[in-house]
Structure 1
C-alpha cells in the first residue's frame, strides 16, 4: 500500500518518487518546494536541490484515480484516529516552526535595511549642513575681501622720495593721507567734554614742537631701518625647521605663587624685562645680573600693561598702565615713581614709549588714545596728558590692546569686535580700519 511521506495519505493522489526514494503527492511536494526554494524536503542537510524533472511519476489505474480512496478498516479505530490527529498536529507544528523562522529572518533583514537607511539619511543631512555652512562662510569671506581696504601702508602714508646724503639712500617723509570727503566734514578726532584751556587740560592736537621732534626721530629711524633692510636683503631668513628646534634655556618665577598664576604683559628693553602678572604687580628683572631690580605695585589696583625704554646712556624708564585708568612713570637707577596721569578713568589696555623716550601713547578700554609727555627730572611732574584722540562716533567702541610702530608715528589699536584701527599721529586722524576676524 502506497503512503504519502508528506501528508501520510494512503494511497496518495498523483504519486511521484523522489531521487531519495520517497513517495509523496506531486501537488504537496511541488507546494513544499515552492516554499523552501526548490530544496529536497527529505534531505537532512536541507541543501540538496530538487527539480520537478527529477520526479518519477507512478501510474495507477484510471478507475482508482476517479474514485475516492477508501479508508482502511483499522483507520476508523480510536487509536488510529488519535495517531492521525497527532500526525496532523506535528505537521502543523513543523509548518508553524518554518513560518516563525522565515518571519524572524525577514524581520532581521528589515531591521538591517531600516538601520542602513537611517544612517544614510543622517549622513546626507550632515553633508547638507556642512555644505550650507561652507557656502555661508564663503559668502562672508567674499564680502569681507571685497570691502577690505587696500594695504594700510598705502592708505596711511604718502611717500616722497628725495636724494640721500650722498650714499644713494632714499628718504621717506610722512605727509599724512588726505581725508575722504565724508571725513572732511566730520573730523576723525573729537574734543573732550571739557574744552581745552590754558589751565593744563589736554588738547585735541599734539603740539607742533612735539610733532617736529617725533618726525625728526621718525626720519632717523626709518633711514636706519632701510639701510639695515638693504644690508639683509640677500640674507636668507630662518627656516620653519629652525623654530621647531628652539629649546627652553632659562626659566624664572618672579611673581607671587599664592594667587592665581599668569602673566598678562611682557616688555623687553636691553637686558631688562618688565613682567606684569596677575598678582597685580609689575616686576623689573635684569637678565644679565639675574636679579630683580624693582617691584611696581599700587594698593587696590592691578597693573595691566607696561613698556620700557632703555637709552644708550642713562637710566631706564618704565611706563605702566593700570586698572584704575592711570599711566604711571618709573625712572632713575632705583626706578622710583615719577608721576601718573589718567585719560578718562577706564582701564589702560595698551601703552608704548616713543623711541625718543620723551613721549608715551596709551589706549584705554573706552576707545580713546592718550598722548603723554615724559620728563623724569626732579623739577618736572614726570608724566602729563597732552592730547586726547578719539573717533567721532566712538560710542560703544571698546579697545582691547594698543601698540606703537617702531618708527613712532603710527599707533595701532585692537577692538573687541575684531577690528584693527590705525592712527596716524602726524595728522592725528584715523587713517585706516582692518577687519581681522
Structure 2
C-alpha cells in the first residue's frame, strides 16, 4: 500500500471515499487545504471524505552505505573529522574574541589614564590661574605671560641700540691680533684627548678663557680648563643636561625638565623658564642681557637676565630643534623638526619669513659677516651655507660623514664641522669666492667649538670626553 502522492509507504494512511486512492495523511490534507480536489482524479475532495486506515508500522531500511562495518567506520571518521574542524573553529573564534576583549580593555584603561591626567592638569591650571594677580602700572604680583607678545619698551630699545651699534661697526672691525691663519689651521692635529668626563653629553660651550662647559645625562655638569687639563668645578643640574652656554663668567645649563639653571662659581644663583619638556636649544642675545630658550613643547621664550623673568613667548607649528640670534640681534632664527627655518622679529614676536630645507634641522649657526648662516640637517653628510639676503643656499660643504653640528670662528672665515666620523675645518677665500678644506681628522664628534683666537678646535666625542685639535 503506497501513497498516491509520494509513492512511498505512508506512516498515517488515509483513503478517499470517492476515488478509493490511498494517501499520506499530512500530504493529502496539505493538498486539500490549498486545492480542495483529489490529486489523482481532480474531483472535489474535503477532509471529511478521508477514511483512516489501520496498518502496521513500516520500518525504513538503512541506506546501503550503512550495512557494513567498513562503511560505518568511514561514516564515524567523517563525523569525527567534522567535529574536530568545528572544535578548531570554535577555538579560533575564542582566541580572537579574547584578543578583541584585551584590546578593548587596554584602550579603555589608556583612555581612563588620559582623562585622569588631563583632569589633573586642568585642576592645576585652574589653581595656578587663581593664584595669579593681574595688575596694571606698578602693581605687585606675577605678570601673566601672553603668547606671541612683543618685548617691553626698554628691551625693544635695547635691541635697536645693539643692532645699530653692531651693524655699523661689523664691516670695519679688524681681525684680532694673533688670530690663527689658514696655514696654521691646516697643520692642526689631535693634540689632546680626555677620558669620558660627563657620559651622555650632547653639547659644549667654550669661552675666551678656554673653559669648556658641558654636562651629562645624569645631571652633573662641569667646567674643564684646556690650559690646566682638568675639571675645575662641577655642579648638579638636577636632570640631564641638554644645552649649555656661557654668559660672561656664568654658566647657563638647559635641562631635560624644561628649565635653565644659572651657576656662578659653582653655586646655583637662578633658575629660568619652564618649558613643558626638555630645553632643546638656547641662544644669548648679542647685548648679553637677554636669553632665548626653545623646548620640545614647540615654544620659544625670551628671558631678561637682569631679573631672570620671562618677558615674551611664542608658539610655533613644529618642535624646535635649534635657535640662534642674528649677530646684530634684531632677528631670531628657529630650526624645526619639520625641516623649516622660521625667522622672527625679536621685538614684536611676529614671523618674518619661513625657509624650507627639506629635512629636520639639527643645527643653525650665524657667521660674523652678518649675511651667512650654516645649516646642518639630520643624517646629512653636508653643511649648507645660506645667504639671508637671497633666502637660499649658496654653498654646500661635504664632510664625508653625517654632520652633527658646526661652529663659525669670530672672523667668519673658518667653519668647524663635527660629524659622526670626523672633525674638519673649512675656509672661505673672499678673493676667489671659494671654499677649501684645511684639515680633517678621524675623530667622531657630537659638537664642536672654537678655542681662543682660533688656536684650537674643541670637539665633544660620543663618550662624553673632549678631543682638541691644535698645532703640535
Regarding TM over 0.5, the answer is: no
More strand by share: 2
The structure with the larger Rg is 1
More helix by share: 1
TM-score by length of 1: 0.45
Bigger relative contact order (CA 8 A; separation at least 6): 2
